[in-house]
Amino acid sequence: MYKDTIDFIKTLYPRQDFIPLHEPRFIGREKEYLTDAIDSTFVSSVGAYVNKFEDEMADLTGARYAVAIANGTGALHIALKLAGVSSGHEVITQAFTFVATANAISYLGAKPVFTDVSLKTMGMCPEKLEAFLSENAEQVGDDLINKVTGKKISACVPMHTYGFPCEIDRIVSVCNHYSIPVIEDAAESLGSHYKDKHTGTYGIMGTFSFNGNKTLTCGGGGAIVTDDEEIAKKAKHLTTQAKVPHRWEFRHDEIGYNYRMPNINAALACAQLEQLDSFIKNKRELGLCYADFFIQQKEMKFFTENEGSKANYWLNVLIFKDLMARNDFLDETNADGVMTRPAWILMNELDMFSDCQHDGLANSKWLEERLVNIPSSVRIDSL
């Protein structure tokens, strides 16, 4: 049924018997920088490449500061802590996300509250967020309290889904009205922009991931970006076991975390950053190829960036007419050596988050039943 689509995808990735969803490309100075890091003997959380990577991430995003973290989940965990999230609090986020978003909230003893996404962006819907807060939130002294649960709402975490920017300016505007700090989960959106600003720079902090399947990878790795100097300094301190600087003493002034990115990973990340522009150009060209092909298809629609945004097209997205068509496509493509994947199971449908409050999540459920990711790797033949 989907042979034409499978054949087309195979023409985009010739000479591959199996086409993965998103594989890394190490075609720059990765080996050179890794060798240099190894020869320096600084392979853990101190080294020249860590500093270089932080400077380059700040330059790339336009943020004043960037802090290198061991992974994206750890970055979000620390960002939430620095925003004031604590045990017994609630954090508004989306159910249509990777589990790390909800897990990071839970690490602090807080609980996620899920509002719906927009079908235009696949990210948090500002109208649904406003409606939820208008109905459920009330100011009690200095705290914003959820009238249903009686708990403090202490942060909001929208996610730029699959690299497509959400309407982050409108989300921040809603949250500012209620004095809710916004932390952007930009794990998937390195190189994506909304209204000429890089994702991750609208909220008080943004967090990124450099896992092996991301547009830029250093095996693991993450980062926090912010314009707040105090937050940046505190993030570095907490992620380095809260060690008080001293030439020889091991003194720690609070509970810290072993979350700093190792120099050897940063070396890999620096080499990848040098290629990011060409990677994004290549991926956006792939998106155009898909858009041209799928405009003729009746069973599915290709998802494109929303007005005002420039997406990195980290993972390309098809939206099918119904669940049966989606499942047929998943079966046929994966059986023929073309890796495709459905959307994540909604967070509120997982056992550990099944009792979390939500707003009905109509759009999230609709997407969950119809969405498929298709191969999105940088095409070497097109570089």
Which burial class, exposed, middle or buried, applies to 332 when counting CB atoms under 10 A from its CB (0-12, 13-18, 19+)? middle
> Are 102 and 227 in a shared domain?
yes
> Are 21 and 38 in a shared domain?
no
pLDDT for 382: 75
> Are 179 and 79 in a shared domain?
yes
Indicate the number of domains in the chain.
2
Instruction: Give the domain-ending residue among 218, 242, 273.
Output: 273
Summarize the confidence of residues 199-216 as an average pLDDT: 97
Q: How confident is the model at residue 303 (pLDDT cuts 50, 70, 90)?
A: very high
What sign for the dihedral angle of Cα 242, 245, 247, 248?
A: negative
* CA terminus-to-terminus distance, the chain: 32
Which tokens belong to 102? Answer: 């909800």
Among 155, 161, 147, residue whose Cα is nearest residue 311: 161
> Are 13 and 138 in a shared domain?
no
- Output 278-285 pairs: Cβ under 8 A, ≥24 positions apart: 278/383, 279/25, 279/191, 279/215, 279/216, 279/378, 280/191, 280/215, 280/312, 282/378, 282/379, 282/382, 282/383, 283/215, 283/312, 283/313, 283/314, 283/376, 283/378, 284/311, 284/312, 284/313, 285/382
Among 377, 53, 2, residue whose Cα is nearest residue 215: 377
d(C-alpha 132, C-alpha 149), whole Å: 13
**Strand pairing category for 222-226 and 153-157:** unpaired
Contact indicator for 81, 69 with CB cutoff of 8 Å: no
Q: How many CB atoms lie within 10 A of CB 199?
A: 34
pLDDT for 45: 84
> Are 205 and 283 in a shared domain?
no
Which tokens belong to 125? Answer: 């819907």
Contact indicator for 209, 187 with CB cutoff of 8 Å: yes
Instruction: Give the domain-ending residue among 232, 258, 273.
Output: 273
DSSP-assigned beta bridge partners for residue 341? 373
Instruction: Give the domain-ending residue among 252, 273, 294.
Output: 273
d(C-alpha 377, C-alpha 194), whole Å: 23
Please write the tens of the pLDDT for every residue from 289-300. 999 999 988 889
CATH label of the domain that carries residue 108: 3.40.640.10
> Are 98 and 164 in a shared domain?
yes
Contact indicator for 88, 110 with CB cutoff of 8 Å: yes
> Are 20 and 62 in a shared domain?
no
Range of the domain at 314: 3-27+276-382
> Are 264 and 281 in a shared domain?
no
Please write the tens of the pLDDT for every residue from 33-46. 999 999 999 998 88
pLDDT for 279: 98
> Are 125 and 195 in a shared domain?
yes
> Are 218 and 94 in a shared domain?
yes
> Are 89 and 46 in a shared domain?
yes
- Counting residues of the chain whose pLDDT is more than 90, the rounded percentage is 95
Instruction: Note the pTM of the prediction, 2 decimals.
Output: 0.96
Please write the tens of the pLDDT for every residue from 238-247. 999 999 988 9
pLDDT for 15: 85
Please write the tens of the pLDDT for every residue from 216-270. 999 999 999 999 999 999 999 999 999 998 899 999 999 999 999 999 999 999 9
Q: Is the pLDDT of residue 383 over 90?
A: no
